[in-house]
Homo-oligomer: A and B are copies of this chain.
Amino acid sequence: MDASIFDPRGFRLSPFEADLCARAREFGERVLAPRAAQWDREASFPVANYEDMRREGWLGICIPREEGGWGADFRAYCLAAAEFGRYCGATALTWNMHVCSTLWTGLLTDDLEMDEATRATHRSRRALHYDRILREGAVFSQPFSEGGAAAAGTVAFGTTATRDGGGFCINGRKIFASLAGHADYYGILCTEQHGEEKLSRRDTLYLAVPKGTPGVAVEGDWDPLGMRGTVSRNLVFRDVWVPEEAMLMPPGLYFQAASRWPHMFMTLTPTYMGLAQATLDFTIRYLRGEQPGTPPVKRRMYPTKQIAVAEMRVMLEQTKALWFQAVSEAGPDPSKEAVLRALAAQHTVMENAAALAAKAVRTCGGQSMLKTLPLERIFRDSRCGSLMLPWTAELCIDRIGRDSLYEKGEAD
Contact = CB atoms under 8 A, between A and B. Distances in A.
A9 B335 contact: yes
A366 B388 contact: yes
B313 A404 contact: yes
B3 A337 contact: yes
Contact of A313 (B340, B358, B365, B379): B340
B398 A304 contact: yes
A358 B3 CA distance: 30
A311 B393 CA distance: 11
Contacts of A365: 387, 392
Interface in A364-381: 365-366, 369-372, 376, 379-380
Nearest to A299: B405
B335 A371 contact: no
Given A224-B370, A310-B400, A318-B322, A304 B394 contact: yes
Nearest to A346: B314
A204 interface: no
Contacts of A371: 223-225
A317 B307 contact: no
A2 interface: no
B348 A354 contact: no
Interface string A90-131: 000000000000000000000000000000000000000000
A182 interface: no
A13 interface: no
Contact of A376 (B3, B224, B317): B224
A85 interface: no
Contact of A412 (B226, B298, B313, B402): B298
- Dominant SS among interface residues on chain A: helix
Interface in A168-204: 176
A317 to B, nearest CB: 4
A412 B300 contact: yes
In the complex this chain forms, how many copies of it are found? 4
Given A287-B405, A301-B412, A358-B354, A310 B11 contact: no
A394 B321 contact: no
Nearest to A412: B301
Contact of A394 (B305, B309, B324, B384): B305
Contacts of A389: 366
Contact of A405 (B10, B309, B321, B347): B309
Contacts of A309: 400-401, 404-405
A304 B307 contact: yes
Contacts of A284: 404-405
Given A7-B337, A300-B405, A363 B394 contact: yes
Contacts of A7: 335, 337-338
A332 to B, nearest CB: 13
B406 A369 contact: no
A407 to B, nearest CB: 9
A387 B361 contact: yes
- What 9 pairs between A and B have smallest CB-CB spacing? A303-B303, A306-B401, A310-B401, A300-B405, A310-B400, A321-B322, A225-B376, A321-B321, A317-B344
Interface of A: 3, 7, 9-12, 145, 176, 221, 223-226, 280, 284, 287-288, 298, 300-311, 313-314, 317-319, 321-322, 324-326, 328-329, 334-335, 337-338, 340-341, 344-345, 347-348, 351, 354-355, 358, 361-363, 365-366, 369-372, 376, 379-380, 383-384, 386-389, 392-394, 396-402, 404-406, 412
